[in-house]
């Protein structure tokens, strides 16, 4: 909940009433209250006793226990209930005498730090994401051929990458562009894993393919275009494989956290958020990589956060700098597009770094990781 809001509220209440609000808030933290829904309803000033009573009755009707606190200028009603429904907030907000309704609990219950104060870790085929070591997932945007994939896989492994990325099913903006090798691409990824020992992360595009893609991979990527495709997210969660949820290109952080909630709510605790840039008015870069979101997600959630600077800025020349920034700000892992010959890449040619550039990047990241108490 927003404690700033409570402080503000306290200032609006006369001093003799402050203990009452404090009492409500402290009761709200008692074990018997732990799984209850709590909210604070602030009434407008000069509300008549009848109007106040109408809101109290509505709160009861919705199944909450009201706790009325009268101030000099305002009346505040604390409410404690059993069920959680966002609709309740809307219903109360619709009353003209209500100034605001603030839920005490976060809507993103399971992904929030309130539910799990420590950082959680995700194990993807033996690679632990969210611990001291920053994991680097590297590989081509698309799996194009055996030669391209194997060459990249061996080179990124030698440079220190711990997971291999590569799209077999590609979500292309145009239907006339390369759509990926499909299952043949998955087979090549599995072969690369066999040769290098690196677990695989690859994108899942449709619910029908959830089992197929999960069979070949160690982590399922939900792309930016599907970040609020809840049925797809649920299908991914149900495979039991770790789910890397990219941020939708026009998605607010809260919406992203709630999309992630679908994974945990479907009994899969292995969720990773991935910041990959959002649409802004800036068009120098393909997207605007929002590194502030990394700090926000770290504060709000216990789940690991990954940064993808390749889609994030869309320019190979910027990828190294953005990786360094991501590590400094607290990313748990990086997702980097690497191609043996970027100019010949079938997709995202402008943003893939070459094998030498990737090796340089890994060396450059070491002191930055150490400076923030991590290793790479």
**Helix (H) and strand (E) counts for the chain?**
13, 14
CB of 286 to Mn ion, least distance (A): 10
Residue 293 contacts residue 253 (beta carbons within 8 Å): yes
Q: Interface with ligand PEP by CB under 6 A: which range of 73-81, 217-225, 228-236, 338-346?
A: 217-225
Cα 200 from Cα 296, distance rounded (Å): 27
Residue 40 contacts residue 78 (beta carbons within 8 Å): yes
State both tokens at 161: 């990458």
HSE, side-chain direction, 13 A CA sphere, residue 270: 20
Provide the 10 A C-beta neighbour count for residue 94: 10
Residue of 78, 199, 223, 309 interacting with ligand PEP (CB under 6 A): 223
Q: Give the CA radius of gyration of the chain.
A: 24
Applying CB under 6 A, does 224 fall inside the site for ligand PEP? yes
Q: Of the two residues 25 and 141, which places its CB atom closer to ligand PEP in the complex?
A: 141
Residue 302 contacts residue 332 (beta carbons within 8 Å): no
Q: Interface with ligand PEP by CB under 6 A: which range of 1-9, 15-23, 112-120, 222-230?
A: 222-230
CB of 129 to ligand PEP, least distance (A): 16
Q: Interface with Mn ion by CB under 5 A: which range of 26-34, 77-85, 271-279, 344-352?
A: 344-352
Q: Of the two residues 270 and 311, which places its CB atom closer to ligand PEP in the complex?
A: 311
Out of ligand PEP, Mn ion, none, what residue 229 binds, judged by CB under 5 to 8 A for its kind, is none
Q: Which residues contact 167 (CB under 8 A, 6 or more apart)?
A: 140, 141, 142, 143, 180, 185, 202, 203, 347
Q: Residue number with the shortest CB distance to ligand PEP? A: 223
Out of ligand PEP, Mn ion, none, what residue 171 binds, judged by CB under 5 to 8 A for its kind, is ligand PEP
Q: Of the two residues 81 and 180, which places its CB atom closer to ligand PEP in the complex?
A: 180
Q: Of the two residues 46 and 173, which places its CB atom closer to Mn ion in the complex?
A: 173
Residue of 17, 108, 157, 246 interacting with ligand PEP (CB under 6 A): 246
Applying CB under 6 A, does 167 fall inside the site for ligand PEP? yes
- DSSP H or E stretch at residue 57: helix 49-61
Q: Of the two residues 332 and 348, which places its CB atom closer to Mn ion in the complex?
A: 348
Out of Mn ion, ligand PEP, none, what residue 157 binds, judged by CB under 5 to 8 A for its kind, is none
Out of Mn ion, ligand PEP, none, what residue 152 binds, judged by CB under 5 to 8 A for its kind, is none
User: What number of chain residues touch Mn ion (CB under 5 A)?
Assistant: 2
Q: Which residues contact 306 (CB under 8 A, 6 or more apart)?
A: 129, 137, 244, 272, 273, 274, 275, 331, 332, 333, 334, 335
Residue 168 contacts residue 367 (beta carbons within 8 Å): no
Q: Interface with ligand PEP by CB under 6 A: which range of 64-72, 173-181, 218-226, 288-296?
A: 218-226
Length of the chain: 376
Applying CB under 5 A, does 232 fall inside the site for Mn ion? no
Cα 96 from Cα 231, distance rounded (Å): 37
Cα 216 from Cα 12, distance rounded (Å): 59
Residue of 348, 358, 361, 376 interacting with Mn ion (CB under 5 A): 348
CA dihedral 119→124→127→128, nearest 10 degrees, is 10
Q: Which residues contact 254 (CB under 8 A, 6 or more apart)?
A: 107, 108
Helix 253-265 crosses helix 292-300 at what angle (to 10 degrees)? 40
Applying CB under 5 A, does 88 fall inside the site for Mn ion? no
Q: Of the two residues 120 and 221, which places its CB atom closer to ligand PEP in the complex?
A: 221
Instruction: Give the footprint of ligand PEP on residues 170-199 (CB under 6 A).
Output: 171
Residue 233 contacts residue 251 (beta carbons within 8 Å): no
Q: Of the two residues 47 and 143, which places its CB atom closer to ligand PEP in the complex?
A: 143
Instruction: Give the footprint of Mn ion on residues 132-161 (CB under 5 A).
Output: 141
Token pair 């070591």: residue = 133
CB of 362 to ligand PEP, least distance (A): 19
Q: Which residues bind to ligand PEP, rule: CB under 6 A?
A: 141, 167, 171, 223-225, 246, 276, 308, 311
Q: Which residues bind to Mn ion, rule: CB under 5 A?
A: 141, 348
């Amino acid at each position: 909940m927003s404690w700033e809001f409570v402080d503000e509220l306290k200032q609006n209440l006369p001093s003799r009433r402050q203990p009452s609000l404090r009492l409500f808030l402290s009761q709200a933290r008692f074990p018997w209250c732990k799984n209850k829904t709590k909210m604070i309803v602030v009434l407008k000033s000069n509300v008549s006793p009848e109007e106040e009573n109408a809101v109290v009755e509505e709160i009861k009707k919705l199944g909450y226990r009201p706790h009325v606190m009268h101030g000099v200028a305002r009346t505040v009603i604390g409410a404690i209930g059993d069920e959680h429904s966002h609709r309740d907030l809307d219903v109360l907000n619709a009353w003209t005498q209500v100034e605001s309704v603030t839920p005490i609990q976060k809507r993103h219950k399971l992904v929030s730090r309130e539910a799990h104060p420590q950082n959680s870790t995700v194990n993807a085929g033996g690679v632990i994401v969210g611990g001291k070591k920053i994991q680097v997932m590297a590989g081509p945007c698309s799996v194009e051929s055996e030669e391209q994939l194997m060459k990249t896989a061996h080179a990124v492994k030698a440079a220190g990458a711990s997971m291999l990325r590569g799209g077999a099913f590609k979500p292309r903006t145009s239907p006339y562009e390369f759509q990926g090798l499909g299952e043949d691409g998955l087979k090549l990824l599995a072969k690369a894993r066999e040769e290098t020992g690196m677990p695989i992360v690859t994108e899942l595009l449709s619910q029908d393919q959830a089992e197929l893609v999960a069979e070949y991979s160690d982590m399922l990527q939900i792309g930016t275009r599907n970040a609020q495709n809840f049925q797809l997210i649920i299908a991914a969660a149900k495979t039991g494989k770790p789910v890397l949820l990219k941020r939708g290109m026009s998605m607010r952080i809260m919406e992203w956290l709630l999309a992630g909630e679908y994974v945990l709510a479907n009994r899969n605790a292995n969720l990773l958020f991935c910041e990959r840039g959002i649409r802004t008015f800036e068009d120098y870069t393909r997207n605007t990589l929002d590194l502030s979101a990394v700090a926000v997600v770290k504060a709000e959630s216990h789940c690991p956060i990954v940064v993808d600077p390749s889609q994030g800025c869309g320019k190979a020349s910027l990828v190294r700098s953005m990786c360094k920034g991501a590590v400094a700000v607290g990313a748990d892992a990086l997702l980097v597009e690497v191609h043996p010959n970027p100019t010949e890449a079938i997709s995202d040619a402008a943003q893939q770094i070459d094998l030498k550039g990737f090796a340089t990047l890994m060396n450059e990241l070491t002191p930055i990781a150490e400076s923030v108490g991590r290793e790479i």
